[in-house]
């Protein structure tokens, strides 16, 4: 088991990978640097190997798929995950690792948004998009994570070995953030400097399509992690719609003793019934979520036991 493992997912980062590996080897000389190549065609893997990294491969395209592979294969007390595009300085890695190893943090977030991100980033709509995602998740999940979509993070062993990776692409960071908040894991923020990609290095992000994926991920996770609120909101909306159409019919009945729009009355009844079904569906699913949280606590205990056994074997 490694003490510290630096995990670098890469896809066509030949312009920057050598510098990234070299910088992290200087900052964390005791760490093992893993570069996971995701079908690069520009020689990223060979450059990383020459720079001193352990190179492995993931052939399913997408950052989420790479993260799944990394988390399954690498054993360490502390994991530092960073992009291979040289936008995150290695100088912050020691502080982030110390928070995991000494303060028992489960996830340490490299906070770009509180420092230089808004001045360094030149990509259109990314600034407003990051702000919107952060505020949305903070409002929906009541958390204090400062940067939801940063690619610079540190993790504990028990986070990595109990995190279910469901996303395939760049929405993986959003999934990590929400998972940590929902499972009451220890999360800390470290303000980091951010520098835009050097000239000649191209971003793999598509602002529109990847932004929509992130929004769909937020909606999906809100439904899965907080079903009572999700289905309760739908139930309230259906009930309001039903009442808006039912009240005029009721007033007419009291005034004239007639029901002139009988089909509307029937639709109102079915809409109200759908509201009741949504409400109770949310309550039932919330009970399942609570049971899943109890099971997750047992998974954490098993992960800690595995970590202790791995240390005993090592020594």
Using pLDDT thresholds of 50, 70 and 90, give the confidence band for residue 79: very high
Q: Give the integer Cα–Cα distance in Å for 25 and 31.
A: 7
3-state secondary structure of 56: strand
Contacts of 170 (CB under 8 A, 6+ apart): 63, 64, 149, 204, 205, 210, 213, 214
Contact 172, 64 (CB under 8 A): yes
In the 8-state DSSP scheme, what is residue 6?
E
Q: Which two tokens stand for residue 172?
A: 């993986």
Ramachandran angles phi, psi of 241, nearest 5°: -60, -45
3-state secondary structure of 226: coil
- For 246-252, what is the mean pLDDT? 88
List, for residues 92-130, the tens digit of each pLDDT value: 999 999 999 999 999 999 998 887 676 666 565 566 677
Q: Give the integer Cα–Cα distance in Å for 61 and 12.
A: 12
- For 291-298, what is the mean pLDDT? 91
Residue 124 has what pLDDT? 58
Q: Give the integer Cα–Cα distance in Å for 184 and 300.
A: 12
Q: Give the integer Cα–Cα distance in Å for 120 and 57.
A: 31
- For 71-78, what is the mean pLDDT? 95
Instruction: Indicate the helix (H) or strand (E) that contains 230.
Output: helix 227-256
Instruction: Report the share of the chain in percent with pLDDT over 70.
Output: 91
Residue 121 has what pLDDT? 63
In 33-64, which positions are buried (b, 16+ CB within 10 angstroms) versus exposed (e)? bbbbbbebeeebbebbeebebebeebeeebbb
Distance of CA 246 to the CA centre of its chain: 43
Q: How far is CA 130 from CA 118, 182, 207, 210, in A?
A: 10, 20, 11, 12
Which segments of 142-226 does DSSP mark as H helices, in order? Answer: 157-160, 172-182, 207-225
Pairing of strands 107-111, 187-191: parallel
Rounded to the nearest 10 degrees, what angle do helices 17-27 and 93-101 cross at? 50
Using pLDDT thresholds of 50, 70 and 90, give the confidence band for residue 269: very high
List, for residues 157-188, the tens digit of each pLDDT value: 999 999 999 888 878 888 899 899 889 999 99
């Amino acid at each position: 088991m490694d003490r510290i493992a630096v995990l670098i997912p890469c896809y066509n980062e030949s312009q920057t990978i050598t510098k990234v590996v070299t910088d992290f080897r200087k900052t964390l000389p005791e760490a093992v640097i893993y570069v996971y190549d995701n079908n690069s065609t520009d020689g990223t893997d060979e450059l990383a190997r020459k720079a001193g990294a352990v190179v492995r491969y993931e052939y399913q395209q997408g950052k989420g798929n790479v993260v799944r592979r990394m988390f399954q294969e690498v054993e360490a007390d502390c994991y530092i995950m960073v992009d291979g595009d040289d936008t995150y300085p290695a100088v912050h890695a020691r502080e982030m690792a110390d928070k995991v190893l000494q303060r028992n943090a489960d996830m340490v977030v490299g906070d770009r948004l509180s420092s230089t991100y808004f001045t360094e980033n030149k990509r259109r709509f990314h600034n407003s998009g990051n702000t919107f995602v952060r505020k949305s998740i903070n409002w929906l999940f009541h958390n204090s994570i400062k940067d939801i979509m940063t690619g610079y993070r540190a993790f504990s062993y028990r986070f990595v070995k109990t995190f279910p990776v469901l996303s395939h692409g760049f929405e993986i960071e959003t999934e990590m953030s929400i998972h940590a908040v929902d499972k009451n894991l220890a999360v800390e923020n470290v303000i980091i400097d951010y520098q835009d990609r050097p000239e000649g290095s191209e971003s793999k992000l598509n602002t529109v399509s990847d932004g929509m994926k992130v929004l769909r991920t937020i909606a999906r996770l809100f439904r899965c992690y907080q079903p009572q609120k999700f289905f309760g909101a739908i139930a309230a909306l259906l009930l309001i719609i039903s009442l808006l159409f039912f009240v005029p019919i009721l007033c007419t009945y009291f005034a004239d003793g007639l029901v002139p729009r009988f089909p509307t009355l029937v639709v109102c009844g079915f809409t109200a019934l759908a509201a009741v079904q949504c409400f109770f569906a949310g309550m039932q699913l919330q009970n399942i979520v609570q049971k899943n949280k109890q099971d997750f606590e047992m998974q954490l205990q098993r992960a800690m036991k595995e970590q202790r056994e791995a240390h005993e074997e090592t020594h």
